[in-house]
């Protein structure tokens, strides 16, 4: 294990209130894109699990197959493929915030080994469903077939957004987009990781942050 990795620890049970809030947030999000009745929702709650991970935990690493969809309740998760050896820092490709899905979509649906790392930047909490249980859910409910397709479409739009983001030219454009799109990540992700995501130097990020504060 390198200093970039943290062993995944036993999962603490959530309080009844925390679990209920997480389920409520997830249902609201799914209802926005594909309505479900109480019966269909109960089919999911029978299969969904709780997961809590410490800061630095690797949820997925190269060579593994992504075996579950995680719905992030609290925390942030970075996606990266490699380490900048000079800076000893992850080359961040994307950041997941609360309410978003955490998944390596090609690995999950094609059952292929991934090249990605998924890492918690702070303690994280998730609702999760395993691949086999999701397939069973689709077999049991036509409504979940529709909801699953629409959730996948929403995630594919995020992939398109990543491409758009990295086509932005100037550091100031990237920082402005990031601060509007990832407000929680500004507080939960280290400045070095934000700089890596923006593909700028840490000192450039510091200058942009100061300029942003002065302009308010």
Average pLDDT over residues 148-167: 84
What was the pLDDT predicted at 86?
Answer: 64
| Among 11, 13, 4, 109, residue whose Cα is nearest residue 53 | 11
What was the pLDDT predicted at 4?
Answer: 46
What was the pLDDT predicted at 177?
Answer: 86
pLDDT greater than 90 at residue 147 = yes
Query: 157 or 130, which is more confident?
Result: 130
| Among 114, 65, 70, residue whose Cα is nearest residue 96 | 70
Average pLDDT over residues 60-71: 96
pLDDT greater than 80 at residue 141 = yes
What was the pLDDT predicted at 3?
Answer: 42
What was the pLDDT predicted at 120?
Answer: 96
Confidence at 2, pLDDT banded by 50, 70, 90: very low
Confidence at 208, pLDDT banded by 50, 70, 90: confident
Mean per-residue pLDDT of the chain: 87
Average pLDDT over residues 18-29: 93
Say what the pTM is.
0.85
What was the pLDDT predicted at 186?
Answer: 82
Average pLDDT over residues 185-190: 84
Query: 43 or 5, which is more confident?
Result: 43
Average pLDDT over residues 182-196: 85
pLDDT greater than 60 at residue 49 = yes
Question: How many whole angstroms separate alpha carbon 84 and alpha carbon 11?
Answer: 31
What was the pLDDT predicted at 172?
Answer: 87
């Amino acid at each position: 294990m390198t200093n970039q990795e943290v062993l995944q620890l036993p999962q603490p049970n959530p309080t009844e209130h925390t679990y209920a809030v997480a389920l409520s947030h997830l249902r609201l999000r799914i209802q926005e894109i594909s309505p479900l009745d109480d019966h269909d929702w109960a089919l999911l709650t029978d299969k969904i699990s709780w997961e809590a991970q410490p800061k630095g935990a690797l949820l997925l690493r190269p060579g593994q197959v992504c075996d579950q969809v995680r719905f992030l309740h609290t925390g942030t998760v970075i996606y990266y493929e490699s380490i900048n050896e000079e800076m000893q820092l992850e080359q961040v490709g994307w950041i997941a915030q609360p309410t978003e899905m955490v998944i390596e979509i090609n690995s999950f649906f094609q059952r292929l080994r991934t090249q990605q790392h998924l890492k918690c930047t702070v303690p994280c909490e998730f609702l999760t469903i395993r691949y086999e249980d999701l397939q069973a859910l689709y077999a049991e409910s036509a409504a979940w077939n529709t909801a699953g397709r629409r959730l996948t479409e929403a995630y594919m739009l995020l992939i398109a957004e990543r491409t758009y983001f990295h086509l932005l030219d100037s550091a100031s454009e990237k920082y402005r987009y990031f601060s509007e799109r990832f407000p929680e990540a500004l507080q939960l992700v280290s400045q070095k990781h934000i700089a890596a995501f923006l593909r700028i130097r840490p000192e450039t990020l510091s200058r942009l942050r100061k300029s942003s504060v002065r302009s308010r």
